[in-house]
């Protein structure tokens, strides 16, 4: 393990570690454009120049291996002069697009120029003109004039997705980024090139010109699109609804987690969250026009308290672990309802990278709590019982029965079952046929946890309050438990999880603090890939 000194601090690193990596171990940030820890080293942008004692010239930190006794200066006058010259070349043909560029406010060209730029530029020639606003695919736009040819996107499609859409064409100051003729940037991870682009050359079509980044608030959460549970940052606005046609969520960015998704996020997870602000159920609906939460909860309680009540509850692996625990404690254990979370579902698209065929974020959580897997009543059996007149009430949580079983099978359900309750986030045919409709909070509107396919429990953070009159399902279940004469002492999702940790061996020793922002492993075996419940 060679030992070296960087800016007066000594560090020992593994053999083969580069100077830029050694500096990061000391908390020293060296500017970079082409370097990315997940990609091969290109060494073509030269902005990471450092001053190495006894070396005749400046060295690039991204491709210089740490050596025993090496002394490195990252912010010496010589190093900054070198970076200043590099910036002069990179900006020679760069357009003055900052006032209209989506990258403004989080652009490394802006940031580094402010730190050590050449404020008396010597360039007097005409800038080379290239193509602007080029549509590369369904999600990504290219502005060739802004590109500094760092080649991150080229290496990403060559090395990560292995789809090879990008190339750099022509030579000299006519060199330009593009995709190969006849191809389109439409691989399942295409928008990651926007995240790794250090300038404003590659931008998201959906976010284009919607907001400046300094207007955005950010919340840490995870994706609910499949059982991988990729970590992400949700960027939203609450006080400027005109920026997104009345919506709150403006964009999603991957959040680094070495044990789950590293730096990446699939396009389905990134662009599949429109339902959070569109097509939502906003208020309680019931037999009476003035129905509200009090009447809906009263109807639920009456159904469960009826003598010899025959009740079915179809819950979902889209619910948080805390809510599934309450389903078991309040409805299954206490009220004696027949509860299931295992809805037959055809596996969706999956790959060997991030995308899992199980399109639910908490199948493992439901399994650990005994609400999915072998021995659980199948939802189709409850539907058959309801159609045969063997159920007095049926509560469907989040599922569209028409989509699951077909309209022909469930068309007569409202007439065959005494009371059909539906709780969920969005309008669908099942909500239309239900006697009672209860608006649920979306997963980004509540706190809680999901357990991914690999047995990693992760927190989902509340980004913004529930829309309109929607409520968190855990809050609904606690209120129902009180009406059933068995009030529970828990007041929020954190306290509910603490109860889970005390009663469930798989969660022993865990808490929200232990889980933190990166998650924690539960004591469980890894399930077989392809197992899907809903």
* pLDDT tens digits for range 331-380: 877 676 777 766 656 678 999 999 999 999 999 999 999 888 777 778 88
Going by the DSSP 8-state scheme, the letter that residue 377 receives in this structure is P
pLDDT at 527 over 70: no
Rounded to an integer, what distance in angstroms lies between the CA atom of residue 304 and that of residue 313?
11
pLDDT of residue 244: 64
Q: Where are any strands of DSSP class E within 43-200?
A: 49-52, 59-60, 71-73, 134-135, 140-142, 166-169, 176-179
Q: Give the predicted TM-score (pTM) of the model.
A: 0.90
The span from the CA of 443 to the CA of 276, in Å, is 9
Weakest mean pLDDT among 155-159, 289-293, 477-481, 525-529: 525-529
Strand partners, 160: none
Joined tokens for residue 428: 């669908």
- pLDDT reported for residue 378: 84
Average pLDDT over residues 4-24: 96
State the burial class of residue 127 (Cβ atoms within 10 Å of its Cβ: 0-12, 13-18, 19+): middle
Do the domains 3-90 and 293-521 sit in the same CATH topology, yes or no?
Answer: no
Question: Mean pLDDT, to the nearest integer, of 300-312?
Answer: 90
Pick the CATH number of 293-521 from 2.30.30.30, 3.40.50.740, 3.40.220.10, 2.60.120.560: 3.40.50.740
For the chain, what are the domain ranges?
Answer: 3-90, 124-276, 293-521
Q: 124-276 has which fold?
A: Alpha-Beta Plaits (3.30.70)
Which numeric CATH code is attached to 3-90?
Answer: 3.10.20.740
Q: Mean pLDDT, to the nearest integer, of 173-201?
A: 95
pLDDT mean over 295-315 = 92
Count, in order, helices (H) and strands (E) of the chain.
17, 21
DSSP labels for 401-458? HHHHH-HHHHTTHHHHSSEEEEEESB--HHHHH-SEEEEBPPGGGS-EEEE-TTSEEE
Four-CA torsion 213, 215, 221, 225, nearest 10 degrees: -70
Asked if the model's pLDDT at residue 305 lies above 70, the reply is yes
- Among 222-226, 317-321, 530-534, whose mean pLDDT is lowest? 530-534
DSSP H or E segment with residue 483: helix 473-483
Cα 52 vs. chain centroid, distance in angstroms? 41
pLDDT of 525 strictly over 70: no
């Amino acid at each position: 393990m060679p030992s070296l000194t960087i800016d007066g601090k000594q560090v020992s690193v593994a053999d083969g570690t580069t100077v830029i990596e050694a500096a990061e171990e000391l908390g020293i940030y060296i500017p970079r454009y082409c370097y990315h820890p997940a990609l091969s080293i290109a060494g073509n942008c030269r902005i990471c120049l450092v001053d190495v004692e006894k070396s005749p010239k400046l060295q690039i930190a991204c491709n210089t291996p740490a050596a025993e006794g090496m002394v490195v200066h990252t912010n010496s006058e010589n190093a900054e002069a070198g970076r200043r010259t590099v910036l002069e070349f990179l900006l020679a043909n760069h357009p003055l697009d900052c006032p209209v560029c989506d990258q403004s406010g989080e652009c490394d060209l802006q940031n580094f120029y402010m730190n050590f730029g050449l404020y008396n530029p010597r360039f007097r020639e005409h800038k080379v003109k290239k193509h602007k606003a080029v549509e590369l695919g369904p999600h990504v736009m290219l502005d060739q004039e802004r590109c500094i040819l760092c080649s991150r996107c080229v290496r990403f499609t060559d090395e990560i997705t292995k789809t090879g859409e990008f190339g750099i064409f022509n030579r000299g100051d006519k060199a330009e980024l593009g995709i190969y003729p006849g191809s389109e940037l439409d691989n399942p991870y295409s928008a990651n090139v926007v995240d790794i682009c250090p300038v404003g050359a590659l931008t998201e079509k959906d976010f284009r010109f919607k907001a400046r980044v300094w207007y955005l608030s950010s919340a840490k959460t995870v994706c609910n699109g499949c059982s991988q549970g990729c970590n992400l940052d949700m960027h939203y606005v609450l006080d400027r609804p005109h920026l997104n046609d009345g919506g709150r969520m403006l964009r999603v960015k991957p959040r680094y987690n070495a044990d789950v998704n590293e730096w990446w996020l699939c396009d389905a997870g990134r662009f599949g969250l429109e339902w959070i602000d569109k097509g939502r159920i906003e208020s309680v609906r019931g037999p009476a026009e003035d129905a509200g939460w009090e009447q809906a909860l009263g109807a639920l309680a009456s159904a469960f308290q009826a003598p010899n009540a025959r009740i079915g509850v179809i819950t979902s692996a889209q619910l948080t672990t805390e809510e599934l625990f309450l389903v078991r404690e309040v409805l299954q254990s206490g009220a004696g309802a027949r509860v299931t979370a295992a809805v037959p579902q055809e596996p969706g698209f999956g790959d060997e990278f991030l995308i899992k065929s199980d399109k639910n974020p908490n199948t493992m959580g439901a399994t650990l709590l005994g609400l999915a897997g072998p021995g659980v009543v199948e939802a189709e059996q409850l539907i058959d019982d309801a159609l045969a007149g063997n159920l007095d009430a049926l509560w469907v949580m989040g599922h569209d029965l028409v989509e699951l079983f077909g309209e022909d099978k469930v068309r007569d359900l409202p007439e065959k079952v005494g009371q059909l309750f539906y709780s969920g986030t969005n309008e669908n045919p099942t909500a239309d046929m239900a006697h009672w409709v209860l608006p649920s909070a979306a997963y980004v509107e509540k706190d809680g946890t999901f357990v991914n396919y690999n047995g990693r429990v992760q927190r989902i953070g509340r980004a913004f309050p529930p829309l309109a009159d929607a409520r968190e399902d855990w809050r609904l279940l606690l209120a129902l438990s009180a009406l059933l004469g068995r009030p529970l002492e828990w007041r929020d999702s954190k306290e509910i999880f603490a109860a889970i940790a005390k009663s469930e061996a798989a969660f022993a020793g865990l808490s929200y603090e232990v889980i933190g922002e990166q998650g924690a492993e539960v004591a469980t075996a890894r399930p077989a890939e392809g197992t899907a419940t809903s």
